[in-house]
Chains A and B, each alone.
Chain A
Amino acid sequence: MYLCTKFQKRNKLRYLTVMVISNKPLRFIIATLVVCLPLISFANSVQDTAKVKTEAALEVAGEAHSEPTDVKSKIKEFINHHLLDAHDFTFSANEETGEHYGFSLPIIIWDGGLQVFSSSKFNHGEAVAESNGNYYVLHHEKIYKTDAKGTLTEEHGHPTNATPLDFSITKSVVGILAMALLMLVLFTGLAKSYAKNNTIATGAGRFFEPLVLYVRDEIAIPNIGEKNYKKYMSYLLTIFFFIFFLNILGLTPLGFNVTGNITITLSLALLTYLITTFTANKNYWSHMLWMPGVPVILRPVLAVIELLGTIIKPFSLMIRLYANMMAGHVVLMSIIGLMFIFKSWIGSSLSFVLAFSLSILEILVAFLQAYIFTMLTSLYFGAGNEEHHHEEAHH
């Protein structure tokens, strides 16, 4: 009897191991494909720009701004273009034929009145767009008001034309909206599934439950405290998943660079600053403006330093996320660009290996930056909610 159960157990174990092994290659292949996706996209686009080099002689000279022709400056220009926001959604472009594969986005500008038109009117920055008798031109992804011919008056290399207020749905805005929609659908769906399945995680919940619990148990509670953490949880979770998803989106072949854009990180940091300022308690402000327990002469000096500190904190949040994501994109694309500079199998394989390992590192960075932003945000919230312990502090 004993032997029999033992045998059964062993058999079951073997069956399990076989199942695991047969699953592994499939998962490995899928994982490899996912990891390789960014390489494919970046490589393709750079290739397109590099190809132009051979055809450069055929290109028409004497354009408004002279196009660089050698590979190095082509790659540089491509990277710079990638870092900027775009008014149309281009997956890839063939510069030989001038064809762009993608779709146009709506342009919404305020110039004495609301002007709405499609970005296809700009023809990727090559044409003058006309709307209600006004003429606009796209120069380095900035919209300028011009005359019918599209002349730009330049001074020190920067156009001096009037710039209308730009509320366009740009590429970054598309990314943000898509991620917001995804988060809305995903997390309301998860909340419903928890209500239905008696608080047991199913499906995607198995992946997201540990992350949500991690934010609550490792980030919010230790830094803000048991008493006050609940009112900040919604913001902390939102910001964590927003940054995490957008960072990951930046690694996909779609070529988004949302969190590597300083305006986005500025608004995120501004939100943190506003919430810290408006939810801070009396104790925080008294320590900020009139520090107890130090000589009276020093108190105004400390107040100035503390007030500066409140601005420097969100500023460093902004710079950290922006610089990390931007630097990641620049380094990754430069390494892929090496392929087109060396033009030999050594350079190509070197660049492939480097880019591959760097992409994996970038996934870690994507998580780490979301974690650090949330962590520091909750630290600042915690500082704004600290309880008064007079007796311990000043004796």
Chain B
Amino acid sequence: MQIPEIVGAGLIVIGAGLGIGKIGGSAMDAIARQPEASGKIQTAMIIAAALIEGIGFAALFAK
């Protein structure tokens, strides 16, 4: 593995981490505001996180 590829993989992981973190944070806010909708929010959160994670993995393996 060459150095630019390692840096690229690192950047992807940072990006994916930030994205999933933001989704999680927003979901926390939303649940705090509307605890009765927590089930729906959780489902949507997991789907969005999974999609971002998929992109992260795809990019990592495309090295």
Contacts and interface: CB of A to CB of B under 8 A. Distances in A.
Interface residues of B, number: 13
Contacts of B51: 316
A320 B54 contact: yes
B34 interface: no
B50 A323 contact: no
B57 A323 contact: yes
B46 A323 contact: no
B46 A368 contact: yes
B46 A316 contact: no
B54 A316 contact: yes
Nearest to B40: A222
A376 interface: yes
A376 B49 CA distance: 12
B57 A324 contact: yes
A103 B41 CA distance: 49
A371 interface: yes
A375 interface: yes
Interface string A276-315: 0000000000000000000000000000000000000000
A79 B53 CA distance: 23
A323 B60 contact: yes
B7 interface: no
B47 interface: yes
Interface string A304-343: 0000000000001001100110010000000000000000
Interface in A212-234: 218
Interface of A: 218, 316, 319-320, 323-324, 327, 368, 371-372, 375-376, 379
B61 A376 contact: no
Given A316-B54, A319-B54, A376 B47 contact: yes
A371 B39 CA distance: 14
* Secondary structure call for the A interface: helix
Contacts of A218: 39, 43
A323 B47 contact: no
Nearest to A375: B47
Contacts of B43: 218, 375
Contacts of B3: none
Nearest to A368: B46
Interface string B2-43: 000000000000000000000000000000000000010001
Contact of A320 (B39, B46, B57): B57
Given A316-B58, A323-B58, 13 more contacts: A218-B39, A218-B43, A316-B51, A316-B54, A316-B55, A319-B61, A320-B53, A320-B54, A323-B54, A324-B53, A368-B46, A375-B43, A375-B47
9 contacts: A218-B43, A320-B57, A323-B54, A323-B58, A324-B53, A327-B57, A376-B47, A376-B50, A379-B47
B46 to A, nearest CB: 7
Q: Which 10 pairs of residues, A with B, have the shortest CB-CB distance?
A: A323-B57, A320-B54, A316-B54, A372-B50, A319-B58, A319-B57, A319-B54, A323-B61, A375-B47, A320-B57
B46 A372 contact: yes
A371 B60 contact: no
A216 to B, nearest CB: 15
Contacts of B60: 323
Contacts of B54: 316, 319-320, 323
Contacts of A319: 54, 57-58, 61
A372 B57 CA distance: 15
B20 to A, nearest CB: 13
B47 A372 contact: yes
A371 B55 CA distance: 18
A324 B54 CA distance: 9
A371 B45 CA distance: 13
A319 B57 CA distance: 7
A371 B46 contact: yes
A320 B50 CA distance: 8
Contacts of A368: 46
